[in-house]
Structures are given as C-alpha cells and as structure tokens.
C-alpha cells in the first residue's frame, strides 16, 4: 500500500474536521490527496472555508452539487469510483455523516480500499435522520474508527465493532476552533450586522425543522417568541432558508436574517452570543468549548457529551422561549469542565494512528 492518504470532504462540517488532520499528516511527511465532492458548492459554504482554514486547494473538485438523497448519492458513487480507481490510495479518510461520507465509504469498500472514519460511533438513535443512517453504515465498513467521546466507543462496542479498530482521539473540530480562537472578533461581527450588544445566534437546517412547511412554520413561531427576549441573528443555511422565509420569519421583530457566513465570521458571532439556538451537531460542540449556552431544537442528539459535559440542552418548539428566558436570567448553571480530550490535539493523534497503520501495512 504505497498510495497516498485520500481525504474526501463535501460539506462545511467536513472541512472543519479535516483541516487539523491534513495539517498533522503534512507535518509527518505523509503523501495526501484532497477530494472535494462539491456537495456544498456555494462559495459561502465551501470556498471561503478552504481559505480561512488554511486547507490546500482540492486536488479534485467533483462538483456533484445538490439533489435528492438518491440522486446525490448516486452521482457521488459514480464520480468517486472513477477518482479512487485512478488515485489508488492506501487509505480513504472520511469525515462525519453527510452523503459524501457514505458514498466514499461504499466505493472504497467495494474496490476494496481501507477506510478511516473520523467522528465514528456517534448515535442519535433517530433513524428518521439521514445522517444516522449514513454514520451507522460507514462505521460497519471502516477499518479505522476515530471516536470523539467515550460514549461513541461504547456504541461501537455494543454494535460488535472490534475495539482494536477503534481509537478515542478527541475532537478535531475543536482543534480548528482553538487554533483560530484569536481570529474571532465578536464586536466586529456584531457591528457588521447591526446587532445590539446582547444577541443570540440561530442556525437551523435539519429536515425535522425545515423540510415540511408545518415544521418550518412551527420553528419560525418558536423563534419569533424567543426574539421577544433576545435579538436573534439567523444566518440562513442554503438548505432550509427558503422554508423559514416562507414561514414568515423575516417579519418577526428582533429577528435579523443574514446570508450564509464564513467560518471566522460565524464563530465570531457565536463567541459573543448570549445564547445559541441550533439543530447542528457541530455547533453543539463548538458552544460547549466556548462556554456559550446552547438550546438544541431537536428531540435527540448524537452528541450527548455536549449535554453532560457542556452547555447544551434539548428543547421542543414550545419550550424554546421559556428555556431561553431561563438562560438569560442566569437560572441555568454551566458545567465546570468540558469533554475529555477536547484539547486541540485530536489531529496529531489521528495522524499518529494513521502513519503507524500505514507503516504496518506498507
């Protein structure tokens, strides 16, 4: 196995997780190839992240774009099969749980090429979430499984995964957060968007909140009620933005709709927020480390460590405004310590495991 390490990324969360791994492998002198599937193709959700995170230009951009789950995954399978066949990598590294992750794992498994899954073992146990399907299937195919929390290791063990393949390494998304902390300027971000000194940040894109018009209407009503207590900055994700606008969110007093933001701009707003309302897994993690109260508008989370060791609380639509009020009056205490190994060194740990594995299988 003398080929390169081939990374497959396709969406914003992948970029943030991949950056510290790619940097650590570069430091170790490891040959690498970066393939961008183009699942997130909007410049504000893709190109700007590469620039701000110091990622190299992709060796290949497949430009797959959006579509239904079936069409997008089918397009990814065809494009990735050709790419992996031509590149002949020693190992394929996939990140998180998006469709690009699943497609890359399926293609690699059938060629066959070993797979390393960064962020293995996360489980919401909600099979209505496409991401839950993706992450479960990828974990069954992976040769190396990199877990971000002890709970994730436990899930994999109960599913019969050989624990010799599992490595508890911490969270590379937190590596990126801590590595860019001095670039986050809340005052400048607040001024750029005309926000008051005390404000909240909202990001919603999950199907349970935006796909069905009734769900989008319920989410918009909940946010309008919450905005009575706190001005809310809402960077609209390409997925779901139209649904929230159609539900009337733009007309709610105290709601500031924004275009999608780059990583530094978004995290600057989050760092200075009095509270964050989200359905994003990554934002639950980022707020945990920043110490910003987080209200997750979902019934489940695949990141329970953000609840037990962090700032996160799960709320229903009808619970959002009262929960936000409790946060703002200081009625909620924050945990005294963060999750284990979320220390900014996950990338080097992953690189060490990969390089040792390559030496054994070279």
Least confident stretch, 83-87, 145-149, 228-232, 236-240: 236-240
Range of the domain at 283: 186-328
Residue 261 lies in a domain: yes
Residue 286 lies in a domain: yes
Convert the pLDDT of each residue in 54-72 to its tens digit.
Answer: 898 999 999 887 778 899 8
Rounded to 5°, the CA angle 107-111-115 comes to 65
Q: Quick one: average pLDDT of 286-297? A: 96
Q: Tell me the pLDDT band of 220, cut-offs 50, 70 and 90.
A: very high
Residue 166 lies in a domain: yes
Positions marked active-site:
205
Convert the pLDDT of each residue in 151-186 to its tens digit.
Answer: 999 999 999 999 999 999 999 999 999 999 999 999
Residue 161 lies in a domain: yes
Which of helix, strand or coil describes residue 117? Answer: strand
Mark whether 250 and 354 lie in a shared domain.
no
- Strand duo 275-278 + 294-296: pairing: parallel
Q: Are 46 and 262 in contact (CB under 8 A)?
A: no
Q: Tell me the pLDDT band of 2, cut-offs 50, 70 and 90.
A: confident
How many distinct structural domains can be found in the chain? 2
Name beta bridge partners: 200: 232, 275
Convert the pLDDT of each residue in 223-265 to its tens digit.
Answer: 999 999 999 999 987 767 889 999 999 999 999 999 989 999 9
Mark whether 103 and 209 lie in a shared domain.
no
Asked whether the predicted pLDDT for residue 335 surpasses 90, the reply is no
pLDDT of residue 66: 76
Residue 192: CATH number of its domain: 3.40.50.2000
Q: Are 292 and 273 in contact (CB under 8 A)?
A: yes
Which of helix, strand or coil describes residue 156? Answer: helix
Q: Tell me the pLDDT band of 37, cut-offs 50, 70 and 90.
A: very high
Across the chain, mean pLDDT equals 94
Q: Tell me the pLDDT band of 201, cut-offs 50, 70 and 90.
A: very high
Q: Quick one: average pLDDT of 206-213? A: 90
């Amino acid at each position: 196995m003398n080929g390169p390490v081939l990374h497959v990324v396709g969406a914003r969360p992948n970029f943030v997780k991949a950056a510290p791994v790619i940097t650590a492998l570069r430091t170790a002198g490891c040959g690498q190839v970066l393939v961008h599937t183009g699942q997130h193709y909007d410049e504000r959700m893709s190109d700007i992240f590469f620039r701000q995170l110091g990622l190299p230009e992709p060796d290949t951009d497949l430009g797959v774009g959006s579509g239904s789950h079936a069409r997008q995954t089918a397009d990814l399978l065809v494009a990735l099969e050709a790419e992996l066949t031509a590149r002949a990598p020693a190992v394929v590294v996939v990140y998180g749980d998006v469709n690009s992750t699943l497609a890359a794992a399926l293609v690699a498994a059938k060629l066959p090429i070993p797979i390393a899954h960064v962020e293995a073992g996360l489980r919401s146990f909600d099979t209505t979430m496409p991401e839950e399907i993706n992450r479960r299937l990828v974990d069954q195919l992976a040769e190396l499984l990199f877990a971000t929390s002890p709970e994730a290791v436990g899930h994999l063990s109960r599913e019969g995964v050989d624990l010799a393949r599992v490595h508890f390494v911490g969270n590379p998304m937190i590596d990126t957060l801590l590595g860019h902390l001095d670039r986050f300027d809340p005052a400048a971000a607040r001024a750029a968007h005309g926000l008051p000194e005390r404000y909240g940040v909202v990001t919603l894109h999950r199907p349970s909140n935006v796909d069905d018009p009734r769900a989008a209407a319920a989410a918009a009503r909940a946010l309008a009620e919450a905005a009575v207590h706190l001005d809310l900055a809402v960077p609209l994700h390409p997925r779901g933005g139209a649904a929230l606008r159609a539900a009337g969110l733009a007309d709610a007093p105290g709601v500031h709709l924004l275009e999608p933001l780059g990583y530094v701009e978004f995290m600057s707003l989050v760092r200075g927020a009095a509270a964050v309302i989200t359905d994003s897994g990554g934002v639950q993690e980022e707020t945990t480390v920043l110490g910003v109260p987080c209200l997750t508008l979902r019934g489940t989370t695949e990141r329970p460590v953000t609840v037990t060791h962090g700032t996160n609380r799960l709320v229903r639509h009808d619970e959002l405004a009262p929960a936000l009020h409790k946060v703002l009056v200081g009625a909620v205490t924050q945990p005294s310590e963060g999750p284990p190994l979320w220390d900014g060194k996950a990338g080097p740990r992953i690189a060490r495991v990969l390089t040792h594995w390559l030496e054994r299988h070279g």
